Chain A
Amino acid sequence: MDTTVFVPVTDTDTPDTGRLAVRARGLTKTYGSGEAQVRALDGVDVDFAEGRFTAIMGPSGSGKSTLMHLLAGLDSATAGQAFLGSTEITGLGDKALTRLRRDRVGFVFQQFNLLPMFTARDNITLPLELAGAKADREWFDTLVRTLGLDQRLEHRPSELSGGQQQRVAIARALIAQPEVVFADEPTGNLDSRSGAEVLSFLRRSVRELGRTIIMVTHDPAAAAYADRVVLIADGRIAGEITDPTPEAVLAGLDALRSLEGPVADDAAQAGA
């Protein structure tokens, strides 16, 4: 396939801090076998710098979620390597992966996925509890204040709005001070105002709290909150945009679509 890209990507793209939080080398994932085989990821090389907010964009079925699962150690790769900091996570066992997810990675899900029987406070501190660690009071307060949850800590998820639930989920993802937070369409279930709130919190946690965030999104406006957008199409990196604006992102996506129209369509159908 033609790998003409909108903006050329180089392997040695060095971010400001110079340190890499996440790296992928030749990362490949295939589902199924024989006729029905799907190559969801096809030799992806990509780096994510520490202390940056990166958005991953691409047509439906292009492999965004798959990439994230592999980078976060939720799923195993068919080939290639993924690194978290200096740890190679491809090839780690379940025990090590669990510990890694608990201590070094945070997740924000599209459906919030809060535990309905726990209060917001309990939900936030759950990862620490599972690790048997004590919550850092100061960090907890900072998070709760930054996310505007002070008044909502004793409520259960069913008593919170979608935006509030997602903020609780973000707090939960950040409480253990993980090296990276992965978010798969965190604003997908929110209206545009709540979405904007959540996104600015994500950006603040990068700018003010020094976190690293990798977010999958379909929304160019959402992507514009990021420091950098990585474009993916048909399981490969198709380009990137630094300091994106909604217009730039839209243009980038259009370019992808015009390049790979039929394929993207197929993928969209397969994904539907």
Chain B
Amino acid sequence: MLRITLAQMRRSSGRLAAAGIAIVIGTAFVAATLLAGDVVTRTTYDSIAARYADADLVVGATIEDPVTDVAALGEVDGVDSVAPMSASYAELSAGARSVFQTIIPTADDRLMPMVATVGSMPTQDDEIALPQDVAERLGVETGERINLNRSVPAEDGSWEQVTVRPVVVGILDDPYGAYSQTGGAAVVDADTFATWRAEENGGEVGAEEVAVAVSPGADVAAVQAALATAVGGTTDPEDARWVVPTDERAATVAASLTGGQDLVFLIFVLTFAAIALVVAGLVIANTFQVLVAQRARTLALLRCVGANKAQVGRGVLTEAAILGAVASVAGVLLGTALGQGALWVAGAMDLPVPLPDSITLTWQVVVIPVLVGTLVTVGAALVPARVATRVAPLAALRPADAPSASRRAGRVRLVLSMLTAVLGFALLGLGAALGTVAQEPTFGVLAGIAGGALSFVGVAVGAVFWLPKVAALAGRLVGASGPTARLASANTLRNPRRTATTSTALLIGVTLVAMMSTGAASARTSLTSALDEQFPVDVEVSSSTYDEEGARTALSDGLRADVSSVADVAAITDLTDVSLGVPDIVDPDGEPVSVDFTALDPGAAREVLNAPDHIDGLAPGTALLGYTNAESLELADGDRLTLTGADGTATFSVAVNEVEPYVNYLAADDLPQVQAGTVVTDMYVALADSADAAGTVATIQDVVSDSGESAQVTGIAVQRAMYDEVIDTVLAIVLGLLAVAVVIALIGVANTLSLSVIERRKESATLRAIGLSKSQLRGMLAIEGLLIAGVGAVLGIVLGLVYGWGGSAAALGIMGDVTLTVPWLDVTLVLVVALAAGLVASVAPARTALKASPVEALAAD
């Protein structure tokens, strides 16, 4: 039987290869993920271990009871040198530039991770060595002096700044990334360091950790024991004082640093690998389904000559196992190559973290993907294998229809999938309601996730029933356009199961992509509108000094002009703060109250505000009151309000601001009626949409500080840009990971098409004989590809939008009105990619189909 299986595999090798690629990609994904997880762990460990340089042992103590006499440890037998693992911090400055820097003491070469590339390590108390990029940032070279500011406690308990001016004697490199997380470390002489630390801590302090280099040739274990005795500890790291080998210590620190986050990362990425494998499984299932159908005759013949059902089924499964194993091994190889390639590229990119030169192949990296890949392949072939056992021996004698799974199972499946889908969508709706109406995001999100997962299972499992109907509808639409399209749509529908599986594979990826894009877009919009409400303008520049009367001073015309001429500043508008009396309303003491107003030009302000509804209702002759203020003044829309200023009294009609509680606005044109000679105290600045917010805000800040005026620059632009960037980055990563599933599904589309073409060889020949031109045949297959891919993509997008909205409503409802956004760009992109891939997928099958000469139509088979 194995011989027959192998022979059949050889005959179908082309067909199996395409399916195998799906598994190759899926397992490569898994392998690369495992490798990446390993690299992350190792990089963390390496940079921790690097701090100990070439230390053999680490002595540790508690904060409460540190090792005070570090030098004494150096006297222990077999110890070459010791160095306390302490760091301090100081502000370094040169000219106008300053950096906050980690500082470590000098140590014996074997215990010093930093190396001096220019000059030397400091030896005097007025010397310092700087990391290269710090020296560059400060713009200093060796021989120059810098300011070093330390905070030391003063007599009265406050902190005092102490400045010294050490000379730079060395420029340092951090070859192993020991201090990469803190931007390198500056080095000062060990004695000086100890003195400073004593000053800063109000007395001599010991070290919590001491790195120890053992003399060459000494027995490390013996030294470890001797040191333990010397410090009054043991070799057990759980104890109060301990002495352990360096690598053990580094591993412990690395583990506590990542806090299991590396595992979270691994699980996160592996989830996407799992999705990719599910999609690959669908492609495999489809391929075997078709292979079994095409081999029905052969299988029946085998049954005729005495093979039993089990043998036939086992044959299919053996084939799957072989394919799975071969493809998985290829996948591991590909994944390993990709991992190594990525390391090379990253290594060449000069990242601050030194990455390992090569990946390490652990047994998990090899065994897990191969096992998973093989299992998925065999699992996917289970149904086709069962179908194969149903081929009756009789089928060898008559041209029977392709064997298929039983009808009864079909009905059960239909009912179950419908129930699951309905229940799932109900749960999703509940989640959205919980999030928006009940403001319970935690339960909302839980219900949303459960509902989403459940309904998607229902939708995917039931796809075989409804997807062909959708395809039929789409087919009818395109079919109206001509005979080629009609042929194509009829072809798409003749194997509903096949079309459904192929489209479902694509549906999964596209749904997730659309869901993530929609979720991200909704999150962005909701966040932005929440931010806009709190802070309606990109940047605000406010005068921060007061005159003798307690009124804020003016922003100069020059400053305003300078700010408005900063590149990427789109518009500015001036604001004037005034305090006006209200003669009609008195406080409990009988004094007329006064109310603060901000006067601005409503038209110009609307151009500048991110949320123009912030000043809705403001017009000349109107006083727009914050809703809380209006309430306390007992004023409502349409009431009359008389205001008195230094230069007159005027009556305004009241409008209540519905979004802003405290700020009251007047139109700038009305101001002279009550108070002339006012000054501009603030300005609102709008940035261009394309602006680099952080950079532009920094420039505005510079302009303000250069002006010498005291003004404060605030605004939401920087935060918004930061949020946007976080969302964009997360989205990009997630989409990148999902792309693998989409690619596999697209391979599936190509595979299905070529399988169909092989099956329809004779039919293509007939069509060519009765007058179908080559380009029409090509067009027919192109439309088939477009239909399969398009239906999967469009349905996926629709589902993704529903899920994205449901999820956003559940999670973001608490933030206020959830804006349901359609990420048009992403959606269009997904659709275009899917359609283009559908089109491309038809090219190779079309070439095969065209090889069938019309003569074949006449040949008997």
Q: Which residues of A contact B (CB under 8 A)?
A: 65, 68-69, 74-75, 94-95, 98-99, 101-103, 106-107, 109-111, 113, 115-118, 126-127, 129-132, 158, 172-173, 176, 184, 188
Contact = CB atoms under 8 A, between A and B. Distances in A.
A113 B768 CA distance: 12
B770 A126 contact: yes
Interface stretch (B6-14, B23-31, B490-498, B821-829): B490-498
Given A115-B490, A117-B494, A130 B858 contact: no
Name, among A113, A129, A176, the residue most crowded by chain B CB atoms within 10 Å (CB to CB).
A113
A101 B855 contact: no
B616 to A, nearest CB: 61
A106 B770 CA distance: 7
Contacts of B853: 74-75
Given A98-B772, A98-B774, A113-B762, A74 B855 contact: yes
B773 interface: yes
A109 B487 CA distance: 20
Nearest to A103: B771
A194 B771 CA distance: 27
Contacts of A158: 401
A130 B854 contact: no
Given A69-B855, A109-B858, A117 B770 contact: no
Interface in B253-274: none
A122 to B, nearest CB: 8
6 tightest A-B CB contacts, nearest first: A102-B771, A129-B483, A113-B766, A117-B490, A98-B773, A117-B494
B468 to A, nearest CB: 12
Given A94-B774, A98-B768, A117-B491, A132 B854 contact: no
A115 to B, nearest CB: 6
Interface in B666-709: none
10 contacts: A65-B859, A74-B853, A95-B773, A106-B770, A107-B770, A109-B766, A113-B763, A115-B767, A117-B493, A130-B771
B770 A102 contact: yes
Contacts of B494: 116-117
B858 A74 contact: yes
Contact of A132 (B401, B483, B491, B860): B483
B770 A101 contact: yes
B731 interface: no
A184 B855 CA distance: 11
Interface string B844-861: 000000000111011111
A132 B481 CA distance: 11
A130 to B, nearest CB: 5
Nearest to A69: B855
A74 B857 CA distance: 10
Nearest to A95: B773
Contacts of B857: 107, 109, 113
A68 B855 CA distance: 10
B486 interface: yes
A89 to B, nearest CB: 13
Contacts of A95: 773-774
Nearest to A104: B771
Interface of B: 401, 482-483, 486-487, 490-491, 493-494, 762-763, 766-774, 776, 853-855, 857-861
A52 B854 CA distance: 25
A101 B771 contact: yes
Nearest to A110: B860
Nearest to A182: B858
A119 B494 CA distance: 13
B72 to A, nearest CB: 92
Contact of B858 (A98, A172, A176, A184): A184
A98 B763 contact: no
A118 B490 contact: yes
B858 A110 contact: yes
Contacts of B858: 65, 68-69, 74, 107, 109-110, 184
A170 to B, nearest CB: 13
Contacts of B493: 117
A109 to B, nearest CB: 6
Given A113-B766, A126-B483, 4 more contacts: A75-B853, A101-B854, A129-B486, A173-B770
Nearest to B774: A94
Contacts of B486: 129
Contacts of A102: 770-771, 773
Contacts of B769: 74, 101, 107, 109
Contacts of B771: 98-99, 101-103, 127, 130-131, 176
Nearest to B773: A98
A194 B859 CA distance: 21
Given A74-B853, A109-B858, A132-B483, A115 B772 contact: no
A205 to B, nearest CB: 17
Nearest to B762: A113
A132 B483 CA distance: 8
